[in-house]
Structure 1
Amino acid sequence: MENFLKAQRGSHVNGISELKTYLHRFGYLLSENANFTDAFDVTFESAILRFQSNLGLSLSGKLDFDTVSQISAPRCGVPDTIFSTSTFTLHGTTRHYAYFPGKPRWARRMPMKLTYAFSPDYTIRYLSSSQIKAVFKRAFARWASVIPVSFSETEDYVYADMKIGFYSGEHGDSEPFDGVLGVLAHSFSPENGKFHLDAAERWAVDFGTEKSAVAMDLESVATHEIGHLLGLAHSSVKQAVMYPTLRPREKKVDLQLDDIQGVQALYGSNPNFNVGSLSESDISTNQALNLRSTTRLSSISAIASFWFFLNLIHFFSSM
């Protein structure tokens, strides 16, 4: 760690080749040659700057503490490259929510109904089936509360729209898992429906009873990956559910305005959704809109109505 912090362009530091491999895997270092060296070169510096920009870090171009800390954090296996971005500006601040290439979405009649199922073969034994199902029911419900899409569990795994399983190592999709921490899970864009979690992780549904220092919150990861299944890519907003990293024993399950506006631009708004249902703390700390804690809910409702109107125009024009 100390050697990385002292590194600068022109230096050679053991381990930089591994950082290059990481940046290449997640879309920041574009190279056909994966035989990386330990040289801190211009290409590596540019990749660091892209990484820092995309994850909302200070743009130092160096391996500072925050950058190395983010690289070492457990994360989703989906690359971070922002292929297509919708932007909006408020209070002079521009933020982004991102999609997969081509902006894919589930193409069904509205209101949409999608099914999900759990693999009968690829699961974990230290959590009961009822515990796992309860976590996913809550995670799907969060997304359903903001868009006109409902999710129901089915026992028919073969024909379910979304297929969930816990896998180890290489498992047939050319995206092998890497053991404890590292990559936690990955899922695929619409309408693939595959959602894979690393069985090697210590998955937790209650940190009160699960004492492991490396325990990962299953509900947080489930909520994040469902966003990918619906068509969202990663967000640069740190509070957003769609931010790519999650720390051990951290819980992040509440959709932020960045998450909501991104998914509503794809599917429209649930007619029962009201921004007032978000807690004041969620709104006041949401970097996507750069709102101060003193912002009144009445003003936020007016803003949300404006964006809801724009989302409806976008939704119907894309049909």
Structure 2
Amino acid sequence: MIMEPKFLHLLSCILLLFLLNPLSLFTHANSPNQLNTQRSSGMDFLKTLIGTQKGTTSKGISQLKKYLSHFGYMNHKNNTILTHQTDDFFDDNLELAIKSYQTFFKLKVNGIMDANIVAKMSHPRCGVPDSFNLNRSHKLYLRIPTLASHYTFFPGEPKWPPTKRSLTYSFPLGGPTNVNSSILHATQIWASVTPFRFSYRTNYDQADIKISFQYRDHGDGYPFDGPGGILAHAFAPSDGRLHFDGDERWVDGVTLGAFDMQTVGLHELGHVLGLGHTNDTGAIMYPYIGDGLRKVLGQDDINGIKALYQF
């Protein structure tokens, strides 16, 4: 069989293109959309739970219980409260936790793992819990939000003392050097609406706010989960620790498939100052943080910090 000249010419062009750039035929594998899909794979178990409800047993429900426990919607460790705290049975406590989650995020409250709640849980977010939990020993847990406002505080409303309005921040030696500008701008934004002033300090150990990139289990009791899922977390005043997940793709600006360091830093600095999460989607303290966007402070954030520090 003899190939047509036109076909041979086309084949030759394809081979020449591949030889000149062997990656050209596979660039789609590194597209931002696919990167973002791969980064969310840690939450893929949620897709198998769509439609599950009280009384059912399904693989992945135990992971769901851990998720809801971590974010303050149920107590995963107390055997006297949760009979089925580690199994795949959908019990009364799980239904109550799901209803609480649906209430906080203004979803349809039905206690069922429907498509809307699965979509919400699948988004990347801050690792600090959202709401009240029976386990008060958890350092990151927040108190339940009041009906009069969206913003929340940590239990006991910890805050920096009145004599401490100048806060220093620093990064450990050997860390990324391209994040300074993003954090500087984030501190300037908070300084513009508060009495606080922020300055960089070279001595990491003596800084008030210690900012670092961490991986997986990094020794503070709240491990990261690799690409996607939890992006960062921070502790209440006056702890000062602020951790970013080093497995994420970080940028300074708006890039699809990557997370803006200034936006996430602004959110986590809110925790460092004492703010909890809000269900106001326009606020920087909203727990879910998308890729490819930059956010600034909302009125709810400003109201919250003013209420906490009474200025």
Q: Matches of 1:23 and 1:145 in 2, distance apart?
A: 35
Q: Post-superposition shift, 1:249?
A: 2.0
Cα contact 2:171–2:204 (8 A) shared by 1: yes
Query: Does structure 1 residue 250 correspond to structure 2 residue 293?
Result: yes
Among 146, 149, 157, the residue aligned to 1:103: 157
Higher strand share: 1
Which position in structure 2 is the counterpart of 1:221? 264
Q: Are 1:56 and 1:237, in contact at CA under 8 Å, matched by a contact in 2?
A: no
Question: What secondary structure, in the 3-state scheme, does the structure 2 residue paired with 1:99 have?
Answer: coil
Matched, 1:12 2:57: yes
2:279–2:286 Cα contact (<8 Å) kept: yes
Query: Offset of 1:49 from its aligned partner?
Result: 0.7
> What one-letter code is carried by the residue in structure 1 that aligns with 2:110?
S
- Contact 1:148/1:267 (<8 A) preserved: no
Is the CA contact 1:105–1:190 (under 8 Å) kept in the aligned structure 2? yes
Larger Rg belongs to: 2
Report the CA distance shift for 1:4/1:172 in structure 2 as closer, same or farther (over 3 A).
Answer: closer
* Superposed CA RMSD: 2.0
Runs of at least 5 residues in structure 1 that lack an aligned partner in the other structure: 89-93, 270-319
Distance 1:228 1:260, change over 3 A: same
Q: Deviations over 1:127-179 (max 9, x none)?
A: xx2x4111111111111111111111111211111010101122121111111
Distance 1:2 1:192, change over 3 A: closer
CA displacement at 1:15 relative to structure 2:
1.4
Identify the range of structure 1 (219-228 vs 237-246) with the bigger mean alpha-carbon deviation. Answer: 237-246
Identity %: 40
Deviations 1:214-234 (A, max 9, x none): x11111110000000000011
| Candidates 48, 68, 71, aligned match of 2:118 | 68
Contact 2:232 2:245 in 1 (8 A): yes
2:277 is aligned to 234
Unaligned runs of 5+ in 2: 1-45, 133-141
Displacement of 1:187 after TM fit?
0.7
Question: What residue is the counterpart of 2:304 in the other structure?
Answer: 262
Structure 2 CA distance for aligned equivalents of residues 106 and 200 of structure 1: 31
Q: TM-score, normalised by structure 1?
A: 0.74
Instruction: State the secondary structure of the residue aligned to 2:159.
Output: coil
1:147 has 2:194 as partner:
yes
